[in-house]
Amino acid sequence: MFKATLKSLLSRKLRLVLSALAVVLGVMFVSGSFVLTDTLQRSFTDLFSSAYANVDVSVTPKAEKGKQPEPLTPQAITDVKSVTGVASAVGDVQGSARPIGKNGKVITTSGSPRFGFNWTGTGQEKIRDGKAPATENEVAVGGYLATTGGFKVGDDIALLTLEPKKTFKITGIYEYAGGRDSLGGELSVAFTEPVAQQLLLGKKDVFSGITVTASQGTTDDALRDAVAAKLGSGYDVKTGAVLAKEQADQINEGLKFFNYVLLGFAGIALFVGIFIILNTFSIIVAQRTRELALLRSMGASRGQVIGSVVLEALVIGLIASIVGLGAGIGIGALLAKIFSSLGGSSLELASIGAPMSAIISSFAVGMIVTVVAAVMPALRASRIAPVAAMREAATPDRPLTKITITGALVAAAGGTSLAFGFNQASLPLIFGGILVAFVGVALLTPILSKPMVSLIGRLLSWSMPGLLGRRNSARNPRRTAITAAALMVGISLITGVSVVLTSATKSIEKLASGQLQTDLIISGEGQMEGQPATFRRDVLTRVEKTDGVRSAVGWSQDGVLEGENQMFAVGVTDLPAMATMFALKPKSGTIAPLKDDQLALPEEMAAEKGWSVGSKVTLQLAKGEPKTYTVGFIWVKSQVLQGALVLPESASANFRSDQIAQAFVQVAPGVSAADVQKRVEPLFADNPEITVQDRSAFVKQTTSQFDTVLLMIQILLALAILIAVLGVINTLALSVIERTRELGLLRAIGMRRAQVMRMITVESVVISVFGAVLGLAVGLALGIATVQALKDQGISEIGLPWMTMVQYLVVAAFVGVIAAILPAIRAARLNVLDAIAYE
Amino acid sequence: MSASDGVAARAVDVWKSYGSGDAAVTALAGVSVDLDKSRFTAIMGPSGSGKSTLMHCLAGLDDVTSGEVWVGDTLVTGLKDRGLTELRRDKVGFIFQQFNLLPTLTAEENITLPLAIGGKKVDRAWFDVVVDTVGLRDRLTHRPTQLSGGQQQRVACARALVSRPDVVFADEPTGNLDSQSGAEVLGFLQRSAREFGQTIVMVTHDPNAASYADRVIFLKDGHIVRELLSPSAEEVLDTMKHLDSVVAVPHV
Ligand SMILES: Nc1ncnc2c1ncn2[C@@H]1O[C@H](COP(=O)(O)OP(=O)(O)OP(=O)(O)O)[C@@H](O)[C@H]1O
Ligand SMILES: [Mg+2]
């Protein structure tokens, strides 16, 4: 039996390859994810240990709860120096510094930090060209910044720090051990110490930390304990090794999430793969009916027949896993390489390796998926009566009642789980529900395939080959259905996401046109990262005084502590103006300028906290002592400023930064916003991180991020769709084999090769478009359900991405044409006589 | 040279061998034959004598090793795939022993398939004549699986005739049928030759089937060895029995 299976397997190399390919791709994605994240993790670990190579012990000020840490004083350095075992203690100054390129734009990185520090000469940085900065308008820049920005020694460089744009002369370019431009793609610049203190920490004679080295014979741990004992409780004292590990862990935590996302998409791809393998095995078993029946009539038991099919699956799964693992290591290495050179950053890659997790998951996933997919066809194979060997191998049309009822039940179960999931905001329930619903819909597909395929086919069957193609696709509803369902999964997920994003865009647009009564919006880069660029208060005053401006409101923002709860707060310059611009309606209290001890908040937040006008609320701001505010104004639930506490302008002084993060301008009646924009923009000439936009540009900018999200998801789902396309190819190829004799007949009575190819292509396009239509329908349902569930999160409108959906349909038709190429060529090349005589 | 008037298909010194070297098999060894228009010709001979091969070569389904094949005015030898395809579509009709029909099409669609493939209009009057002759009027909307074997073969006959080809080739068309259904099909082929002037070439093993033909050609080891005109079944059977003792003659 075992030998017979292997023989039959080897005699069908093409089938072997086709059915294994889906598994290979899925496994490749899984192992590739693991290899990529593993490589990156080890690279980052290496990066941080080299970043802290010079640090034996580091001292930083400890922050009190909810408060900004006070910078260190020179006294602390003196204290550390006096500890026995300390070889050196150097004060570090570090803070955000964004360089402006020669084109006047701020130079950005893909996630790596941009910072400035004090040149001490004791760090890892070694001057490569020129010399260290010595005067207050001199700086040295890192090699990476020099190459990115095209800076040379002697050039001028403009920098944004706590202060607006300031220009410096570059006196030197520094590098790291081994001649590296940067440790990990960061952009850094070194000032003289007093300048660094002023620009980066905002104060003279303060430090952000102390780097301590141990003298001979003192261990890092002992040194840490000694320094900690000397300084007392106000400081965090850590060894360099611990710091390196902490930072690497933090990055690796993010990478882990990244890995989960990749694995999620790999899961989707494999899920689609199951459909394909299931279909392949079904077809193969159908075609092997005679062979299996012959085995049965020779006395093979049902178990042996099941065993033979499952064995075939195991062999395919094993081979596919090995190939997939290999390909995954390659892809992972390639992606790591791309990642490390992203945006020119120079993350030194650790050696590529296959972590145990990649190997185990590859084999587990590859084998399990294949065997699971093969079990159903195996069971069916075992039921083939031995007499079938005598009969024609034609597969009778089995009724679809059972599969349809099962499908309806499964789909309902999936829908229920989805509904519960949304209700309780439980991701496992949601994703589980979606998967189960997919299986349900897939089971319902055969019954749908008859009317749908004939409908779609009618559009394509104006000629005889077209008609034949259409009839062929309607021939085996299950086969067509599963093939189409595989395509459905990918397309419905993209459509669903697209519906949600379109709805979000539409909601934002509606909000902007309805509730945002502002003409200009002034905001800094990085609103989304939570650390927006800011500008000085006096600039806002100048905006207010600009010709044509009716009113201008701005706020600074920060997190504040209410008891144990972290809350988001803004310190607003003018509450009544803000209420007008955002069309806030009073729920209780009156719209009046906030007194220094008053605050305002939205209705839903007040309800959650149980506060009403007159309630006393004690808040700890980043600076100063806790302060008690009285609720003065509660506004009716609105889409803007959700979840924000509005504090008086005076509170800003105790924020981490009292600068304005966002401002809004209303122009005087009869004045054009564009004119005012032209007059306001020059006020921010020295601050390229701040943009002045009109309302529509602002909306566009806000919603443009959705396009990026959609693109990412499309790229990640491309694999699932690719596998589905393989499925179409597979089904067609196997059908061509199955219908060899018919093809021979058609050619014998005069069908041209081109017509044969057209026939196969129509069949392929019908299947693909059917899958796409299913996907669009399911995707719409999923998307709308999600939008409904997100109503409270501010997605109030349902927007349907018609254009995108039409595109997917066109792509599906195109995919159908592509998928048909190989099977069509094969069919057209058949030798007529051989084909007629084919058994 | 062309097939002169009165000849629907012609083979001129046709040789056909398969394989090469020691394994080479000569299926046709210099066959020359004229197949007259409007005649029903049967080809007989022992298994392996080259009947099917001759038919395939005449019909443009297979190429010859040497010699020439003509169908009507067309020199078949040397045609490329496109020319052969058009020949089969427009000038030749086929009836195979089995698997003549596409399971996805109805009887009517199967009958008109060659016309549909060629993008030609169906001559309704002729279609009606053919359908009535094969007696399938009430079966036109049925799928092949809903038809008996004999009905399926009659559909195949109708298909072969509907495009009015120069020659209809039939390879053991009754091989899979019982004698009753076989007789129906053979009677139909005979009528189409006599009443409609259709040229028909049929390969068969069955002396009784051969007795429907106007002319019977006997093949042995790739040679034409005998021929009979309008023989009875007994004559055919008798000839077959003595075929072993017959010495091959190069040309009849
Ligand atoms: N494709 C092929 N390859 C090799 N040899 C072939 C091929 N087709 C036919 N032959 C050989 O050519 C000879 C003639 O075969 P052909 O099929 O024409 O015989 P036939 O008279 O039709 O026999 P039957 O009555 O059994 O159908 C046989 O010896 C056969 O083995
Ligand atoms: Mg034969």
pLDDT class of B250 with cuts at 50, 70, 90: very low
**d(CA B96, nearest CA chain A) in Å:** 9
- Tens-digit pLDDT profile for residues A472-512: 888 888 888 888 988 898 899 899 989 998 998 888 888 87
Amino acid at A639: Q
Task: Report CB contact under 8 Å: B104, A745.
Answer: no
Is A656 near chain B, with CB under 8 Å?
Answer: no
Distance from C-alpha of A302 to C-alpha of A384, rounded to nearest angstrom: 9
**Chain B residues contacting A, CB < 8 Å?**
56, 61-62, 81-82, 85-90, 92-94, 96, 99-105, 113-114, 116-119, 145, 159
Orientation angle between helical segments A2-10 and A302-340, nearest 10 degrees: 50
Task: Report CB contact under 8 Å: A745, B99.
Answer: yes
Q: Is the CB of B18 under 6 A from ligand 1?
A: yes
In this prediction the pTM is 0.77
As to burial, measured by CB atoms within 10 angstroms (0-12 exposed, 13-18 middle, 19+ buried), residue A86 is buried
Mean pLDDT across A671-699: 86
The per-residue pLDDT for A5 is 65
In a domain? residue B1: no
Least CB-CB distance to A833: which of B56, B85, B99? Answer: B56
Name the residue with the closest Cα to ligand 1, atom 19.
B48
**d(CA B6, nearest CA chain A) in Å:** 24
Which residues have a Cβ under 8 Å from the Cβ of A781 and sit 6 or more positions away? none
Mean pLDDT across B125-144: 89
B241 Cα distance to chain centroid = 24
Q: Where is pLDDT greater, at A544 or A289?
A: A544
Question: Which chain B positions have a beta carbon within 8 Å of A825's beta carbon?
Answer: none
Ligand 1 atom having least distance to the Cα of B172: 27
- Tens-digit pLDDT profile for residues A397-435: 567 788 888 888 888 888 888 888 877 777 788 888 888
pLDDT tops 90 at residue A112: no
> What separation, in Å, do the N-terminal and C-terminal C-alpha atoms of chain A show?
23
Asked if A687 and A165 count as a contact pair (C-beta separation under 8 A), the reply is: yes
Ligand 1 atom having least distance to the Cα of B49: 21
Asked if A40 and A336 count as a contact pair (C-beta separation under 8 A), the reply is: yes
Q: Is B40 helix (H, G, I), strand (E, B) or coil?
A: strand
Task: Report CB contact under 8 Å: A749, B114.
Answer: yes
Q: Is the CB of B207 under 6 A from ligand 1?
A: no
pLDDT class of A685 with cuts at 50, 70, 90: confident
Distance from C-alpha of A548 to C-alpha of A530, rounded to nearest angstrom: 32
Q: Is A262 helix (H, G, I), strand (E, B) or coil?
A: helix
Q: Could you tell me which of A717, A726, A765, A780 has the C-alpha nearest to residue A275? A: A726
Distance from C-alpha of A448 to C-alpha of A777, rounded to nearest angstrom: 12
Asked if A726 and A275 count as a contact pair (C-beta separation under 8 A), the reply is: no
Neighbours of B18 (CB within 10 A): 12
CATH number at residue B195: 3.40.50.300
pLDDT tops 70 at residue A72: yes
Question: Which chain B positions have a beta carbon within 8 Å of A750's beta carbon?
Answer: 85-90, 92, 114, 117-118
Asked if A432 and A419 count as a contact pair (C-beta separation under 8 A), the reply is: no
pLDDT class of A393 with cuts at 50, 70, 90: very low
Distance from C-alpha of A41 to C-alpha of A35, rounded to nearest angstrom: 10
Which residues have a Cβ under 8 Å from the Cβ of A662 and sit 6 or more positions away? A521, A522, A523, A524, A527, A532, A554, A555, A557
Cα A478 to Cα A461, A779, B163, distances in angstroms? 21, 22, 37
pLDDT tops 50 at residue B252: no
Task: Report CB contact under 8 Å: A742, B100.
Answer: no
Asked if A250 and A704 count as a contact pair (C-beta separation under 8 A), the reply is: no
Would you mind telling me the total number of residues written for chain B in this entry? 252
* Torsion of the alpha carbons at A200, A201, A202 and A203, rounded to the nearest 10: -130
Task: Report CB contact under 8 Å: A836, B82.
Answer: no
Q: Could you tell me which of A445, A437, A439, A440 has the C-alpha nearest to residue A476? A: A445
List the helix and strand counts (H, then E) for chain B.
8, 10
In a domain? residue B2: no
Q: Which ligand is nearest to the CA of B44?
A: 1
Distance from C-alpha of A658 to C-alpha of A660, rounded to nearest angstrom: 7
In a domain? residue B250: no
The per-residue pLDDT for A799 is 84
Cα B70 to Cα A383, B14, B58, B93, B96, distances in angstroms? 53, 11, 7, 15, 21
Which residues have a Cβ under 8 Å from the Cβ of A78 and sit 6 or more positions away? none
| ipTM reported for the complex surpasses 0.95 | no
Mean pLDDT across A432-460: 84
- Tens-digit pLDDT profile for residues A588-629: 888 888 888 999 999 888 998 899 999 999 998 888 888 999
Task: Report CB contact under 8 Å: B117, A752.
Answer: yes
Rg, C-alpha atoms of chain A: 34
In a domain? residue B252: no
How close is the Cα of B43 to the center of ligand 2, in Å?
A: 10
The values of phi and psi at residue A112, to 5°, are -70, 150
If one counts the domains in chain B, the total is 1
- Tens-digit pLDDT profile for residues B175-234: 888 888 889 889 989 998 998 899 999 999 889 999 999 999 999 999 999 888 888 888
Question: Which chain A positions have a beta carbon within 8 Å of B103's beta carbon?
Answer: 475, 742
Interface of A with B in 392-431 (CB under 8 A): 394
Name residue A89's beta-bridge partners: A212
Distance from C-alpha of B196 to C-alpha of A661, rounded to nearest angstrom: 96
List the helix and strand counts (H, then E) for chain A.
23, 22
- Tens-digit pLDDT profile for residues A766-820: 999 999 999 999 999 989 888 888 777 777 788 888 988 999 999 999 989 999 9
Is A752 near chain B, with CB under 8 Å?
Answer: yes
Distance from C-alpha of A299 to C-alpha of A389, rounded to nearest angstrom: 13
Distance from C-alpha of A570 to C-alpha of A644, rounded to nearest angstrom: 7
Question: Residue A113 has which token pair?
Answer: 């930090």
Distance from C-alpha of B193 to C-alpha of A285, rounded to nearest angstrom: 46
Question: Which chain A positions have a beta carbon within 8 Å of B90's beta carbon?
Answer: 750
How close is the Cα of A56 to the center of ligand 2, in Å?
A: 93
pLDDT tops 80 at residue A838: no
In a domain? residue B251: no
Beta strand segments in A216-304, E? 235-239
**d(CA A835, nearest CA chain B) in Å:** 11
Distance from C-alpha of A274 to C-alpha of B125, rounded to nearest angstrom: 54
* Domain encompassing residue B187: 7-19+26-245
* Chain A residue whose CA is closest to B103: A742
Rg, C-alpha atoms of chain B: 18
The per-residue pLDDT for A168 is 94
Q: Is the CB of B50 under 6 A from ligand 1?
A: yes
**d(CA A474, nearest CA chain B) in Å:** 9
Q: Is A412 helix (H, G, I), strand (E, B) or coil?
A: helix
Mean pLDDT is lowest, of A42-56, A287-301, B118-132, for A287-301
The per-residue pLDDT for B251 is 45
> What separation, in Å, do the N-terminal and C-terminal C-alpha atoms of chain B show?
20
How close is the Cα of B50 to the center of ligand 2, in Å?
A: 7
In a domain? residue B112: yes
Question: Residue A778 has which token pair?
Answer: 């399911």
Taking phi over 0 as left and psi of -120 to 50 as alpha, with beta for the rest, B38 belongs to left
